[in-house]
Structure 1
Amino acid sequence: MTGLAEVTGSERALRTFLHGLPGVDRVGLERRAAMLATRSIKASAKAYAIDLAIRMIDLTTLEGSDTPGRVRSLCAKARRPDPADPSCPAVAAVCVYPSMAPVAAGELHGSGVRLASVATAFPSGQAPLAVKLAEVRAAVAAGAEEIDMVISRGEFLAGRYGAVHEEIVAVKQACGDAHLKVILETGELGGYDNVRRASWLAMLAGADFVKTSTGKIPIAATPPVTLLMLEAVRDFLAGTGRQVGVKPAGGIRSSKDAIRYLVLVNETAGPGWLSPQWFRFGASSLLNDLLRQRTKLTTGAYAGPDDVTVD
C-alpha cells in the first residue's frame, strides 16, 4: 500500500486514493449479508455468544430528557446487568452526553466499565471546529475514556475530503489518551461506495473505531453496511498493520440480531475482531433481550421485563 503520508499529503492525493478504492458490488454485498444471516450456531456456542455480545455493548442514553438519576441507573445496570446472577458479565461501556460524563465517571470508577461520550456537536456535527474541540476536551477532562465523534457529512458529500480528514486528526489530538470512534452516519452518505470511502478516510485520519450511525435518523446500522465496514478494517490492517474496531449502532434490539452480527464479524474480518476491544454494539434495549435469552438458557424460563434499561 502507498505510504499514508503520501495518501493524505494533499486533497488531490486523498481524492485519488479514495476514488481508486474498488467499487462496491451492491447485489453481491447484500446477498452475502443475507446468506450469513442464515447461519446457525450450536446450542453450546449460543451461551458464549450471548455473554460476548453483552461484553460488547456500549449501553447508551442520548436524550434531551437525561437526568443524573437516569444515568446512575444506567451505570448500575452496566456494572451488574443481572443483579440476581453475579456470573453475568458487565458491558463494555456507558455512552452519554458530555454534560452527563461527570455523573457517569463517578458511578463507573474502578468498575472496569469504560466511559464513552459523544462529542463534536452530536448528532448533526454542525458547529465550528473550535466548539467541537472544546467539547471533546471537556468530555475527556470529565473522565471520558472514549469519544464518539460525528463527521461533517456535508463536507464529505461535497467532496472536501481534506477538510474531513483534518477535522478527525484534530479531534484525535484533542482526545489525548481517549479512544476515538468516528461516526459516519452511513444512512446519509448516499450509497455503499461512499461508506467504503468514509471508512478509509476515518481510518487514515487516526480513528480507533469506525461507527455506523448516531441512532438519530431512521436508517441506522444494517448488516450490509456493517459487512462493508468490516471488510474495510480487515483490508486496512493488511495494508498498514494497524487494527481498527467497528461499532454498529441503532436498531439492533434482539439477541438473534446480535448473534448474526457476530457471525458477520467472524466470517468477514475474522476471529481477531471478536472482542470488545475491536467490536461494539451501540444499544440500549438490546441488553434486555440478551439477558432474557441468557436466563432462558440457564433456567429454562424467560425473565420478566427489566425496568432499568433506558430505551
Structure 2
Amino acid sequence: LNILSMSSSTPNASSPIDASFLTVNISMRQVEEIALEISHRCVVTGVNEIAWALRALMLTDLTTLAGDDTRSNVRRLCLRACYPFEPQFFDRFFERTLLQDIHCAAVCVYPARVKDAHATLQQFGKLDTVAIAAVASGFPTAQYGLQTRLQEISHAILAGATEIDIVINRQLVLVGDWEALYNEVLLMRSACGEHALLKTILAIGELGTMENVYKAAMVCMLAGADFIKTSTGKEFVNATLPVGLVMIFAIQEFKRRTCQIVGFKPAGGVRTVKDAVAWMSLVSETLGMRWLTPQRFRFGASGLLNDIEKIVRDGVAKMEADVAAKASQGQLPAEHNATEDLCNELRKN
C-alpha cells in the first residue's frame, strides 16, 4: 500500500451534452448487495490498519463549514491539515522524510475564509502541497440567482482557492431539465477556468431516485467536472455506499465513452477509519487502486482526522511494544532496531 502517491492534475474539458449518456436502469437491490459484499471484505488490522489510516488522511479535505468560523478557527484547521502529527512522533517511529509527505489533501472552507487559509498556508510554506477548496454557488442549497453563484466562484478564486466545490441546482434534477443543469455547470466550469479544479456536489439525499443520481453525475461530468461529490454534509441523507456505487458506475461509463478520468468525493458521515476503509475498498475494487490518489479520490470530513490520529498512535505504540517484547524474549537479534522495524513494515504496506 503506497501511501505517497502524488501527481499533478489539470482541469477536465467539457463535452457536448448527449442524451444517450442518460439512459440507465438501476436495480437498487443489486446495488445494495454489491456494496454490502464489498464492505464485508474490507477488514484491516495491525500495520495494514495504520497504512490505510494514513492513506485516508492524505485523501482528506479537512473541512470547517460552520456559521461561527473565524480566522483563528481556519488557522487551526490549516495547522492540523499540514501537521497532523507532532515532529517528535515521526522522529521516534518513521523515516524523517515521511514528515513532509503526510498531510491532508486540502482544507475546505467558505469563500469568505479562503483568504485566511491562503495566508496561513503561505506562512507555513504549504501552498504547493495542501490545496485550498472553497464551497461556492450558493452552498448548501443553491437557491440563489445564477449570476450570484458564478460571482461567488470568481471571488473565491481571486482570494486564493485552487479548488471549487459547487452545489448543483437540485430543482433542475427533480424536473428533469438536464440541459439547464448542464448549462449551469458549464458556466461554473468556465468560471473556474484553468485556475481551479471543479468538484460538483450532487446532494444525493435530495435527488429523489438513484436514476437521478446517475444522470446528475453524468451531466456534471459532461459539463467538465473534475470530481463528483456525494453531499454537502447538511442533508438528512449524506454519503452511503450504495449511492456511491451508483456514482462510481457513472464514472466508469463516462471513462469508457470519453476516455476522461473524473474523481470521486464522498462527504458527510465519514467519521471513522472503518468508514474510510469501506469507501477506499469500494473504490479500489471498482475503479482500481490507482484511483486512490488525491487527484482522483477525496474524503470531505471534519471529524475523520480525530479517529485517524487515534488509530495511528495506538497502532504504532502496540507495534513498538510487540517488537520490544520479542526482543526481551530473545526472538530478535540484540542489535535489532525497533524503530527501523516499524518503519520497514509501514513502508512495505
Q: TM-score, normalised by structure 1?
A: 0.90
Q: Deviations over 1:180-219 (max 9, x none)?
A: 0000000001121111111111100100000000001120
1:37 partner SS: helix
Q: Deviations over 1:28-77 (max 9, x none)?
A: 10011111111124644322211110000000001111011101010100
Counterpart CA distance in 2 for 1:82 and 1:294 is 10
Counterpart CA distance in 2 for 1:285 and 1:50 is 13
CA contact (8 A) 1:231 1:269 kept: no
User: 2:210 aligned with 1:192, yes or no?
Assistant: yes
- Given candidates 91, 96, 100, the residue that maps to 2:113 is 100
CA contact (8 A) 1:203 1:210 kept: yes
Query: What one-letter code is carried by the residue in structure 2 that aligns with 1:211?
Result: K
- Given candidates 66, 72, 88, the residue that maps to 1:69 is 72
CA contact (8 A) 1:93 1:113 kept: yes
CA contact (8 A) 1:122 1:150 kept: yes
Counterpart CA distance in 2 for 1:192 and 1:38 is 23
Q: Percent identity?
A: 42
User: 2:69 aligned with 1:60, yes or no?
Assistant: no
Q: Deviations over 1:150-204 (max 9, x none)?
A: 0000111111111110110100111122000000000001121111111111100
Q: Which has the larger radius of gyration?
A: 2
1:250 partner SS: coil
User: 2:177 aligned with 1:160, yes or no?
Assistant: yes
Q: TM-score, normalised by structure 2?
A: 0.80
2:270 partner SS: coil
Match of 1:113 in 2: 130
Counterpart CA distance in 1 for 2:180 and 2:150 is 15
Match of 2:307 in 1: 289
Query: What one-letter code is carried by the residue in structure 2 that aligns with 1:131?
Result: T
In the TM superposition, 1:208-287 aligns within 5 A as: 208-287=226-305
User: 2:51 aligned with 1:48, yes or no?
Assistant: yes
CA contact (8 A) 2:47 2:315 kept: no
Counterpart CA distance in 2 for 1:172 and 1:236 is 17
User: 2:168 aligned with 1:151, yes or no?
Assistant: yes
CA contact (8 A) 2:217 2:250 kept: yes
Match of 1:33 in 2: 35
Match of 2:346 in 1: none
2:135 partner SS: strand
Match of 1:133 in 2: 150
Q: CA deviation at 1:277?
A: 1.0
Counterpart CA distance in 2 for 1:91 and 1:242 is 25
Counterpart CA distance in 2 for 1:198 and 1:155 is 9
Q: Deviations over 1:221-255 (max 9, x none)?
A: 00111111122112211211110000000011011
Counterpart CA distance in 1 for 2:225 and 2:70 is 30
Counterpart CA distance in 2 for 1:100 and 1:201 is 30
For structure 2, the 5+ residue unaligned runs are 1-13, 91-97, 320-349
Match of 2:141 in 1: 124
- Given candidates 182, 186, 190, the residue that maps to 1:173 is 190
Residues matched between the structures, number = 290
Match of 1:80 in 2: 83
CA contact (8 A) 2:21 2:218 kept: no
Superposition RMSD on alpha carbons, in Å? 1.5
Q: Which moved more, 1:83-92 or 1:54-63?
A: 83-92
